[in-house]
Amino acid sequence: MRFHIITLFPETFDCYLSHSILGRAVANKKIELNFLNPRDFCDDPHRRIDDKPYGGGPGMVMKALPIIRAWEKASVIPFREKLPFTKKRRMKTILFSPGGRKFTNEDAKHFAHHFDDIILINGRYEGIDHRVVEATGAELISIGNYVLTGGELASMVVIDSVARQIEGVLGTYESLEEERVSSHEVYTRPEQFHFKGREYAVPKILVSGHHKKIEEWRAFSL
Ligand code: ADE
């Protein structure tokens, strides 16, 4: 899976995407990250990327053309590649917006299994000139009912949740771990401890050694 990330701030991705499971997925070529900065696609000698909104109003709006050109570059890369005759790369474009459709884990699974290239358009300022949506056919996606200062965090959320659905990104242990963590309460040593005069103990059933009962308890605690 290739993620093409259109952003004014590519360096904001470094820390999160170069470590742990995602860092390993990049190293193992399970995922590929391709950054495109709209500033590199400006005509303006000052590389100005934003302007006042038509119709008035506060703030600045990101210009359409530098983003559309960055998108065009990202979208031709897949087709330049030598691929088996029968295989056409499947591509999706997402533009992050707090007003977009809410992203879910079902989307993460769908994207992982139905696309080869995902182009992520990240806005800043008061938004992006809407003609970008018309020219690219992007889907507007939101990651939750709150407003962020830009799409970069949303991009990282989508990359993380899609990548972990790709075969080989999570090790066997982590896949099992994921089922365990997402399905019920978990405990580790010590079996009990005291904090501010209160004892905190592991549920007795988990230290009983009775596997069938433990499974029942786990199913019940969902
Ligand atoms: N940009 C600003 N807020 C956002 C949100 N909640 N989801 C996606 N993109 C955003």
For residues 204 and 165, membership in a common domain is answered with no
Nearest to 120 by CA among 1, 22, 8, 3: 3
Residues with CB under 6 Å of ligand 1 are 96-98, 142-144, 146-148, 151, 154
More reliable by pLDDT, 39 or 86: 39
The reply to whether 100 and 210 lie within a common domain is: no
Q: How far is the CA of 59 from the centre of ligand 1 (A)?
A: 17
Amino acid identity at 164: R
> Mean pLDDT lowest for which of 44-53, 85-94, 119-128?
85-94
The pLDDT assigned to 126 comes to 85
Q: How far is the CA of 204 from the centre of ligand 1 (A)?
A: 44
- Rounded distance from Cα 142 to ligand 1 centre (Å): 5
> Domain residues for 211?
181-220
203 and 165 within one domain: no
Residue that the structure tokens 């029942």 belong to: 216
CB 32 within 8 A of CB 2: yes
pLDDT tens string 7-27: 999 999 999 999 999 999 999
Among 47-51, 123-127, 181-185, the least confident range: 181-185
Please, which pLDDT band fits residue 75 given cuts at 50, 70 and 90? very high
Q: What is each CA distance from 52 to 39, 59, 111, 125, in whole angstroms?
A: 17, 7, 35, 11
The pLDDT score that the predictor gives to residue 85 is 60
Does 101 lie in the same domain as 206?
A: no
| Same domain (yes/no): 206, 106 | no
Q: Which of 97, 145, 146, 156 to mutate to test the pocket of ligand 1 (most atoms within 8 A of CB)?
A: 97
Please give the tally of structural domains in the chain: 2
How many angstroms separate the CA atoms of 54 and 102, rounded? 28
Mean pLDDT within 121-143: 95
- Give percent of the chain with pLDDT exceeding 90: 82
Do 213 and 123 lie in one domain? The reply is: no
pLDDT-based confidence at residue 36 (cuts at 50, 70, 90):
very high
The pLDDT of residue 181 = 56
Asked if 64 contacts 128 with a C-beta cutoff of 8 angstroms, the reply is: yes
Looking at residue 83, its pLDDT comes to 59
For atom 5 of ligand 1, the residue with the nearest CA is 98
CA 89 – ligand 1 centroid, Å: 28
Q: Say yes or no to pLDDT of 182 above 90.
A: no
- Among 173, 193, 210, give the residue marking a domain's end: 173
Q: Is the pLDDT of residue 79 over 80?
A: no
The whole-number average pLDDT for the span 157-173 is: 93
Distance from C-alpha of 192 to C-alpha of 170, rounded to nearest angstrom: 31
CB of 92 closer than 8 Å to CB of 71: no
CATH code, 25: 3.40.1280.10
DSSP 128: B
Do 83 and 129 fall into the same domain? yes
pLDDT digits (tens, 9 = 90+) for 37-50: 999 999 989 999 99
Shortest-distance Cα residue to atom 2 of ligand 1: 148
Question: Which two structure tokens, joined as six digits, stand for 91?
Answer: 């591509």
